[in-house]
Amino acid sequence: MNKKILGACLLAFSPLWAHAATFDKFVPADSKIGFTYSQMGVSLDGEFKKFDGTLSFDPANAEAAKVTLSVP
């Protein structure tokens, strides 16, 4: 009986734990911007070593998301 009550409580309150993460700043040390370039049948991969930026994202209003990147 107690296991059924515990299970019902966990199911009832699980939506409170399942929410989207919000972001507002890139951490360059933990981020990577990469690209692939192809010319005359040869593909090359590259990445930007230095960059900065911000990300404005509200899970409730995803249409208003904004990204700003700066690559020196």
The pLDDT tens digits for 43-54 are 999 998 888 888
Mean predicted lDDT score pLDDT of the chain: 75
**Inside any domain, residue 52:** yes
**Inside any domain, residue 50:** yes
**Inside any domain, residue 3:** no
% residues pLDDT > 70 (the chain): 64
pLDDT per position as a tens digit, 1-21: 455 665 554 555 545 444 555
**Inside any domain, residue 4:** no
Query: Is 60 exceeded by the pLDDT of residue 32?
Result: yes
**Inside any domain, residue 1:** no
Q: Look up the domain containing 33 and give its range.
A: 20-70
**Inside any domain, residue 56:** yes
Burial class (CB in 10 A: 0-12, 13-18, 19+), 53: middle
Q: Number of folded domains in the chain? A: 1
Contact 64, 57 (CB under 8 A): no
| Full-model pTM | 0.47
**Inside any domain, residue 9:** no
